[in-house]
Amino acid sequence: MRGDLRPDEPAVAVVGSRRATAAGRVVTERLAAGLARHGVAVVSGLARGIDAVAHRAALEAGGRTVAVLGCGLDVVYPPEHAALLEAIVRQGCVISEFPLGTPPLPGHFPQRNRIIAGLALGVVVVEGDERSGTLSTAGHALDAGREVMAVPGSVLNPLSRAPNGLIRQGAALVESAEDVLAELGLPLQAARTASGEPPELPAGPAALVWQAVAGEPVHIDQVALVTGLPAGEVAAILIDLELRGLVQQLPGKQFVRI
Amino acid sequence: MLARVQSAALVGVDAVPVDVEVDVSSGLPAFAIAGLADASEQDAKERVRAAVKNSQREVPARRIVVNLAPADIHKEGAAYDLPIALGLLLATGQLRPGVLDGQIVVGELALDGRVRPVPGVLAVALLARSLGVRRIIVPEANAAEAAAVAGLPVVPAGSLVEVMQILDGRRAARAVNAPSAVLSPRDEVDFSEVKGQAHAKRALLVAAAGGHHVLLIGPPGGGKTMLARRMPTILPPLSDEEALEVTKIHSVAGLVPPGTGLLCTRPFRAPHHSASRNALVGGGSMPRPGEISLAHHGVLFLDELPEFHRDVLEVLRQPVEEGTITIARVQTTVVFPAGFMLVAAMNPCPCGHFGDPHRLCTCTPPQLDRYRGRISGPLLDRFDLHVEVPRLSPADVVAAPAGESSGTLRARVAAARARQRERFARTRVGCNARMGGRHLRRFCVLNDAAVALLRDALERLYLSARAYDRVLRVARTIADLDDAEQIRTAHVAEAIQYRALDRPAARPPVPQMPASAGVP
């Protein structure tokens, strides 16, 4: 173990596919950041995709996060998460049940999922297909008497199979950090939410654009088509909204409200 | 007896004068050519001998020595056949002395005496005009090309016999139809054929208006090639001077179709990614223009940019910045013009689905890094605009509006370019994309709100500092399209939108770690 594990602090596991969709990443970001703001530690597995997004969002929101590894503590896997791992050590804790120097073998990951489930009061599954390792985390959680929750996804997305399947089997449907807290009976700590007045909503042509980006992520061309504004103006307005912290740009010029 | 005929050799894309001297003297029968590359010499002798004989003239059984001067210029090819044959006829008294004075002759001979086309005739004609020669004798297939040079009488040569008759005054030279003065580019493609893609089209309009290099990023089948192919159709028509330069380069490369005068459409060159360095930038022991020079004043389209060999991409850095390419060889150093607009395309990731809302990307972050890392930072830096081109579903394509036609867009580009010409009248800058640091500070003054926005963007969106100048240039162009003197906040905001690859898309930096912030 490296860092500072606090057994008495409330913790929730946020897990999902390594091949996350843009929408999955957005949901994970909000969920983990929300949990962090309410003083809940975010537990995950330092894998690519959802896991990494969850860790990062918790750190960014100033919260604590716990990473459980499928390899020795001195092995960094995946290698590009070296910097992330060090940040987690400083603002949380990195745990492994494997001896130093253990390589990240495929068999280790389902095993470490047991610990992820054990450390948390509940497990939230964001995205995963039917063979996903996240299902094993959910299984361990049930065995250990932990709450299992899932964020529903589009039926067209193969990565919605795991969460939607869990919901069918009785897992709690959650859409936000507040839903998770309510499910676990944890208190809301509004004190740590982003301070200040609500942001000023856009006016004029920007209001049309703001309307157009409600809901699912939309492409910039779609925004132009729906609003009837010229492409150049839409591009300028979206950067403005992005800088004001109202919308977020995803890869492929997709935009979504924050 | 000694005879002299003036001809010309090609060095780079320019012609230099060459004297063809023919001496016929008594001695053992021989035919030697000095000053011509080995293989060409043997070939030329045989062609000249056969052509003269088959034109019912005589190659005497005497000692014939041909010299091409100056000797230090490398000369090869078949363009000296006709001057050598005429010199031989002069030296043997089969033509009256003096009939060839003040004329430049080029042409390849067929064995039956017909004259075949040769490359670089336009360059030779330009040389002829600057030397002030009386007239120029060229193969008839190249005559229209030579006639593009105003004020220079051109004699089209169909056969050796015809040339001799003209020189003897027994026959008048045929008239050459000079290419029409009005340049009417006919485009086979039009921007209105591309449905949807409003954002990408807008970005290409901006790129065309400011002469910016563009990088298109999108999944396979998204329409990147289709968009790039239509790029020349929205650039302003070639000026007379530009058309002359374009034709000259194509002529040297032997790519002007016979009977064509000036090429008046903007070139579009799309070399495959397996192209060699020499094919792309030009080369050979006597350097010939490569794809990038053929794209001069037009568009160079490099599809699948990361698939090009790295050393090929690295040599692009000079031409992209300076508009010329220097090719140094043991024998000579040649500078070719290469002032093209670079339009490059790449997939967002090896599998092509990164950022596609409907398909899953199966690439791991290291794969993504490796793929993007194939394009070096300095080259990536040369692109002012990065444009994401999404794949459209068939339903989207049907629903999407067609958008503006190339003609409308071209008019807007022309207006924006006119503004730039006015602005740069007393500088050596041609368009916004070529502005250096001094010009940026002079012509791209931002108001406080725009500066604040740009600062904010660099910080919040983790844009690299290098993006700053690029954004300024593009913002200037957007303002020009708006017919605005002052760059406004909206112009800067739009310019920031075209910096897709500056964002750490796959991995936002880890927070609260200043050391790693912004490190890709």
pLDDT in tens, B32-81: 998 887 678 888 999 999 999 999 999 999 999 999 989 888 888 889 99
* Domains of chain B, residue spans: 2-168, 191-429
Cα distance between residue A29 and residue A61, in whole Å: 10
Whether residue A59 is found in the same domain as residue A88: yes
As a whole number of Å, the end-to-end CA separation of chain A is 35
pTM of the model: 0.80
Q: Considering A154, A187, A220, which residue would you say is the last residue of a domain?
A: A187
Q: Considering A187, A217, A237, which residue would you say is the last residue of a domain?
A: A187
Q: Do B493 and A237 touch (CB under 8 A)?
A: yes
Q: How many domains does chain A have?
A: 2
Cα distance between residue B154 and residue B145, in whole Å: 10
DSSP state of B114: B
Whether residue A124 is found in the same domain as residue A233: no
Q: Do A22 and B354 touch (CB under 8 A)?
A: no
Length of chain B: 520
Percent of chain B with pLDDT over 70: 93
What's the whole-number average pLDDT of chain B?
86
A199 belongs to a structural domain? no
B174 pLDDT more than 60: yes
Name chain A contacts of B365, Cβ cutoff 8 Å.
Answer: 48, 78, 80
Burial of residue A245, with CB atoms counted within 10 A of its CB: 0-12 exposed, 13-18 middle, 19 or more buried:
exposed
* Structural domain that includes position A135: 2-187
Name chain A contacts of B346, Cβ cutoff 8 Å.
Answer: none
Q: Do B512 and A91 touch (CB under 8 A)?
A: yes
A192 belongs to a structural domain? no
CB A56 within 8 A of CB A30: no
CB B453 within 8 A of CB B492: yes
Summarize pLDDT for B495-514 with one digit per residue, the tens.
999 987 777 643 433 333 33
As a whole number, mean pLDDT of residues A23-41 equals 90
Topology of the domain comprising B2-168: Ribosomal Protein S5; domain 2 (3.30.230)
CATH of the domain at A241: 1.10.10.10
A196 belongs to a structural domain? no
- pLDDT tier at A254, thresholds 50, 70, 90: confident
Q: Do B357 and A243 touch (CB under 8 A)?
A: no
Residue of B nearest to A229 (CA): B198
User: Angle at the Cα of A187 (from A182 to A189), degrees rounded to 5?
Assistant: 115
B31 pLDDT more than 60: yes
A195 belongs to a structural domain? no
Summarize pLDDT for B210-220 with one digit per residue, the tens.
999 999 998 88
B520 pLDDT more than 50: no
User: In this structure, what token pair is assigned to residue B406?
Assistant: 């190339």
CATH of B191-429, one of 3.40.5.10, 3.40.50.300, 1.10.3720.10, 3.40.50.720: 3.40.50.300
- Which H, E and C letters describe B366-387, residue by residue? HHHHHHHHCCCHHHHCCCCEEE
- pLDDT tier at A195, thresholds 50, 70, 90: very low
Q: Which residues of B401-422 are buried (b: 16+ CB within 10 A; e: fewer)?
A: eebbebeebbebbeebbebbee
Nearest to A19 among B360, B460, B511 (CB): B360
B2-168 and B191-429 agree in CATH topology: no
As a whole number, mean pLDDT of residues B343-367 equals 81
Which parts of B176-270 are beta strand (E)?
214-217, 268-269
Summarize pLDDT for A92-101 with one digit per residue, the tens.
999 999 999 9
Distance from CA of A186 to the nearest CA of B (A): 27
Whether residue A80 is found in the same domain as residue A16: yes
Burial of residue B120, with CB atoms counted within 10 A of its CB: 0-12 exposed, 13-18 middle, 19 or more buried:
buried
Summarize pLDDT for B99-156 with one digit per residue, the tens.
999 999 999 999 999 999 999 999 999 999 999 999 999 999 999 889 888 889 999 9
CB B161 within 8 A of CB B109: no
Residue B41: what pLDDT?
Answer: 80
Whether residue A96 is found in the same domain as residue A182: yes
User: In this structure, what token pair is assigned to residue B503?
Assistant: 């964002």
Range B135-140, long-range pairs (CB < 8 A, 24+ positions): B135/B102, B135/B103, B136/B103, B136/B104, B136/B105, B137/B82, B137/B103, B137/B104, B137/B105, B137/B106, B137/B107, B137/B163, B138/B106, B138/B107, B139/B82, B139/B106, B139/B107, B139/B108, B139/B115, B140/B115, B140/B174
Whether residue A162 is found in the same domain as residue A40: yes
B399 pLDDT more than 80: no
A193 pLDDT more than 60: no
Residue B178: what pLDDT?
Answer: 62
Cα distance between residue B518 and residue B499, in whole Å: 15
Name chain A contacts of B361, Cβ cutoff 8 Å.
Answer: 19
A39 belongs to a structural domain? yes
Q: Amino acid letter at B185?
A: P
A125 belongs to a structural domain? yes
Cα distance between residue B115 and residue B92, in whole Å: 21
As a whole number, mean pLDDT of residues B218-224 equals 85
Whether residue A161 is found in the same domain as residue A241: no
Whether residue A215 is found in the same domain as residue A173: no
Q: Which of A223-227, B89-93, B328-332, B360-364 has the highest mean pLDDT?
A: B89-93
- φ, ψ for residue B482, nearest 5 deg: -85, -5
List, as one string, the DSSP characters of B123-169: HHHHHHHHHT-SEEEEEGGGHHHHHTSTT--EEEESBHHHHHHHHHT
Q: H/E element holding B38?
A: helix B38-54
Whether residue A166 is found in the same domain as residue A66: yes
- pLDDT tier at B470, thresholds 50, 70, 90: confident
CB B477 within 8 A of CB B210: yes
As a whole number, mean pLDDT of residues B460-487 equals 86
Residue B514: what pLDDT?
Answer: 34
- φ, ψ for residue A162, nearest 5 deg: -65, -55
Q: Do B198 and A224 touch (CB under 8 A)?
A: yes
Percent of chain A with pLDDT over 70: 96
Whether residue A51 is found in the same domain as residue A162: yes
A148 belongs to a structural domain? yes
As a whole number, mean pLDDT of residues A151-172 equals 90
Whether residue A127 is found in the same domain as residue A225: no
Residue B459: what pLDDT?
Answer: 80
As a whole number, mean pLDDT of residues B77-100 equals 92
Whether residue A183 is found in the same domain as residue A240: no
Nearest to B510 among A83, A224, A238 (CB): A83
User: In this structure, what token pair is assigned to residue B200?
Assistant: 């990408």
The residues facing A93 across adjacent strands are A3, A66
- pLDDT tier at B158, thresholds 50, 70, 90: very high
Sign of CA dihedral B279, B282, B284, B288: positive
Cα distance between residue B105 and residue B157, in whole Å: 10
A197 belongs to a structural domain? no
List, as one string, the DSSP characters of B259-323: T-----SPPEE---TT--HHHHHEETTTTEE-HHHHTTTSEEEESSGGGS-HHHHHTTHHHHHHS
- pLDDT tier at A67, thresholds 50, 70, 90: very high
Q: Which of A50, A219, A256, A258 to mutate to test the interface with B (most CBs of B within 10 A)?
A: A219
